[in-house]
Structure 1
């Protein structure tokens, strides 16, 4: 078996997460986070749809991290994103971070909006 190092080029990987924080590309962000290939910023949560909708045409799928437990995203968020042409995949924040890292390493057009665990 041969292992290959994952490279992110200029993408922002999620390095770690814990109670109330995310570490993205070495920077700690407290609270909810929005991570794209280009940046990681604090996010106000599912009611704060403007920065998510600004990603229309730039991403195909948004991974929505629901915190410690899996849950459905709010209907208004899902509807707004789908209307903007962005698919939404909801899962607990831990698997959302891991899935984001794998797919960003593959060069996929994705983003992560996650609530803290």
Structure 2
């Protein structure tokens, strides 16, 4: 069996997560985060403007809704993102972290907006 180190394109992978925090690039970040190819930043939670501004960088955004999945995104939030031509996938934050890393490894143009678990 041959093992290869994972390579990530267009972003920094999520190293880990836990109650109230995410570890990215070896640093612990508390609270809600927005990960885009242009970098990492705080996210006010269901704020569409910074995601829409990245429409030329991403094709899909993963919305991590905390410890459990919530199907109920604010309608204006969903409409703004979809109106910018960005696909949305909603899931619990732990699953969003893992999926984000997989998409980066595939070279996909992805972003993640994560509420802490």
User: Given the two structures, how large is their TM-score scaled by the length of structure 2?
Assistant: 0.92
State the Cα RMSD in Å: 1.3
Paired position in structure 2 for 1:6: 6
User: Do the aligned partners of residues 10 and 84 (structure 1) sit closer, same or farther apart at CA in structure 2, a change above 3 Å counting?
Assistant: closer
Paired position in structure 1 for 2:58: 59
Question: How many pairs were matched up?
Answer: 116
Larger relative contact order (CA 8 Å, sep ≥ 6): 2
Paired position in structure 2 for 1:105: 105
Q: Gaps spanning 5+ residues in structure 1: where?
A: none
Residue 90 (structure 2) pairs with residue 90 (structure 1): yes
- TM-superposed deviation, 1:40: 1.2
Query: C-alpha separation between the residues in 1 aligned to 2:16 and 2:7?
Result: 17
Contact 1:12 1:38 in 2 (8 A): no
User: Given the two structures, how large is their TM-score scaled by the length of structure 1?
Assistant: 0.92
Query: C-alpha separation between the residues in 1 aligned to 2:114 and 2:21?
Result: 10
Query: C-alpha separation between the residues in 2 aligned to 1:10 and 1:52?
Result: 16
Q: Gaps spanning 5+ residues in structure 2: where?
A: none
SS in 2 for 1:88: strand
